[in-house]
């Protein structure tokens, strides 16, 4: 990115970078609704992903993770959504102002997305192979037969046993994990450089979750593609993410590499997320276990985001300055950024419970 790129306050996300990253989201702002009911869903989100890198976007429901992803893909429903500012650049090419046909051609070819519920993301009236083959037929001009052969190869690639036979089966004949694999095969058919996985494992049971994450990680490494992993599950990202961006109320509140996030969480929200993970070593007195430690309260209504720090009503460490001043995402050194007035203090403290990282990533 050129250093003369204007006064974007958060461009510090990609410091001293001479080549443009694979994907760069810059100060993205999205609103839903009209007039007094306007919900500010994204309030200046910036992040970037490089080739072969995994960025995890972490946050509660309604924090704007998926809306960011949909805006990047260009599949945000407008209306009700409205992009009010910011930029999305793919290999330096600005997308938000690009021709819709150009964007359509990029989808599938250069960037693809997988969804949380793979059953509803697969069309029930076509066989799985047919849906994968469609892309080879219409984007690569293959014959029906050749495309089906390629579809079977794709199923094989995502480790679906008996791919040659299963390619003829329908989505409802697949188990949950198999469906998500099929969905991954479908999105990787045209060999995209960027894959956005929107809560790919949320609908799956724990053992299958691990398999799918492993598969995504392997495919990313083999193909050198950028991966954006959207999740609310700290356990899921611990092993695979290179960098983690924590979102709250449509903002990035903390952004750093995975190791330092677990070692030195700088934002009280991040600390809260880590604390709320149930842990096997929480014995308490007499082995009865201790109560879960959720973050108190609810995420703010996006049509009435509190003044000052959006997290202050739920924050145990809130001071006067937190209700008055919006903390900006600022550099804490070592590519660690956080949007908290007292970030330095928290970084120095380390996590509340020092073993979180090991436990979570086990």
Partner 1 sequence: MTDTAPALRPAGAAGPEGAGAGAEPAGGLWADGWDRLRRRPLFWAASALIGVLLVMAVAPSLFTSVDPQAADLALSGADSSPDAIFGRDLQGHDIYARAIHGAAPTLTVGLLASLGTVVLGSMAGLVAGYVGGWGDSLISRFAEVFAGLPFILGGIVILTTFNKPGQIVGEVRIVTQVVLTIVVLSWPLAMRIMRAAALEATQQDYVRAARALGAGPWRIVARHILPNTLAPVLVFATIQFGVFIGAEATLSFLGIGLRDPVVSWGVMISESQERVADIPQALFFPAAFLVVAVLAFVMLGDAVRDAFDPRGR
Interface residues with partner 1 (CB under 8 A)? 73, 75, 79, 104-109, 112-115, 117, 120-127, 130, 134-135, 138-139, 161-162, 165-166, 168-170, 172-176, 178, 183, 186-187, 189-190
Smallest separation, CB 193 to partner 1 (Å): 14
* Cβ distance to partner 1 smaller for residue 178 or 240: 178
Smallest separation, CB 331 to partner 1 (Å): 34
Q: Give me the residues paired with residue 81 across strands.
A: 32
Smallest separation, CB 64 to partner 1 (Å): 17
Contact 184, 132 (CB under 8 A): no
Smallest separation, CB 1 to partner 1 (Å): 26
Q: Is the dihedral of CA 329, 330, 336, 342 positive or negative?
A: negative
* Cβ distance to partner 1 smaller for residue 113 or 158: 113
Tokens 């021709």 found at: 99
Strand order in the sheet with 39-49: 39-49, 23-32, 81-90, 93-94
| DSSP code at position 203 | T
* Cβ distance to partner 1 smaller for residue 11 or 187: 187
Strand order in the sheet with 226-231: 111-114, 194-198, 226-231, 54-58, 243-248, 251-257, 337-338, 330-331
Question: How far is residue 305 from each of residues 186, 212, 309, 323, measured CA to CA in Å?
Answer: 38, 36, 9, 11
* Cβ distance to partner 1 smaller for residue 124 or 333: 124
Contact 216, 148 (CB under 8 A): no
Smallest separation, CB 38 to partner 1 (Å): 18
* Cβ distance to partner 1 smaller for residue 175 or 355: 175
Where helices occur in the chain by DSSP H, the ranges are 65-73, 100-109, 118-121, 128-139, 144-157, 163-166, 176-188, 206-223, 234-240, 258-263, 268-275, 320-324, 343-349, 356-360
Smallest separation, CB 47 to partner 1 (Å): 19
* Cβ distance to partner 1 smaller for residue 126 or 330: 126
* Cβ distance to partner 1 smaller for residue 107 or 232: 107
Smallest separation, CB 122 to partner 1 (Å): 6
Pairing of strands 337-338, 330-331: antiparallel
Smallest separation, CB 118 to partner 1 (Å): 8
Question: How far is residue 1 from each of residues 15, 90, 94, 195, 330, measured CA to CA in Å?
Answer: 9, 11, 12, 22, 19
* Cβ distance to partner 1 smaller for residue 167 or 360: 167
96-123 burial: b if 16+ Cβ within 10 Å, else e: beeeeeebeebbbbbbbbbbbbbbebbe
């Amino acid at each position: 990115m050129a250093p003369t790129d204007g006064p974007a306050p958060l461009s510090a996300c990609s410091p001293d970078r001479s080549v443009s990253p694979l994907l760069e989201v810059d100060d993205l702002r999205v609103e839903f609704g009209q007039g007094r009911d306007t919900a500010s869903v994204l309030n200046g989100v910036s992040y970037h992903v490089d080739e072969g890198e995994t960025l995890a976007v972490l946050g509660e429901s309604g924090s704007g993770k998926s809306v960011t992803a949909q805006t990047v893909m260009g599949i945000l429903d407008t209306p009700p959504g409205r992009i009010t500012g910011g930029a999305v650049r793919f290999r330096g090419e600005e997308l938000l102002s690009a021709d819709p046909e150009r964007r359509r051609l990029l989808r599938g070819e250069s960037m693809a997305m997988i969804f949380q519920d793979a059953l509803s993301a697969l069309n029930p009236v076509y066989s799985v192979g047919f849906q994968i083959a469609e892309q080879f037929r219409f984007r690569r001009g293959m014959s029906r037969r050749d495309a089906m052969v390629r579809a079977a190869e794709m199923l094989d690639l995502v480790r679906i046993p008996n791919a040659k036979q299963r390619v003829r089966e329908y989505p409802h004949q697949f188990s949950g994990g198999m469906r998500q694999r099929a969905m991954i095969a479908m999105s990787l058919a045209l060999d995209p450089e960027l894959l956005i996985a929107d809560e790919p494992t949320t609908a799956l049971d724990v053992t299958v979750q691990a398999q799918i994450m492993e598969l995504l990680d392997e495919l990313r490494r083999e193909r050198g593609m950028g991966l954006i992993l959207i999740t609310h599950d700290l356990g899921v990202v611990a092993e695979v993410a290179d960098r983690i961006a924590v979102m709250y109320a449509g903002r990035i509140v903390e952004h750093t590499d995975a190791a330092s996030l677990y070692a030195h969480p700088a934002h009280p929200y991040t600390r809260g997320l880590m604390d709320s993970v149930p842990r096997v070593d929480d014995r308490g007195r007499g082995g009865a276990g201790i109560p879960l430690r959720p973050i108190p309260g609810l995420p703010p209504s996006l049509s009435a985001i509190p003044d000052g720090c959006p997290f202050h009503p739920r924050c145990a460490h809130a001071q006067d300055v937190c209700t008055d001043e919006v903390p900006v995402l600022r550099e804490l050194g070592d590519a660690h950024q956080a949007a908290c007035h007292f970030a330095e203090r928290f970084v120095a403290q380390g996590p509340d419970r020092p073993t979180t990282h090991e436990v979570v990533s086990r």
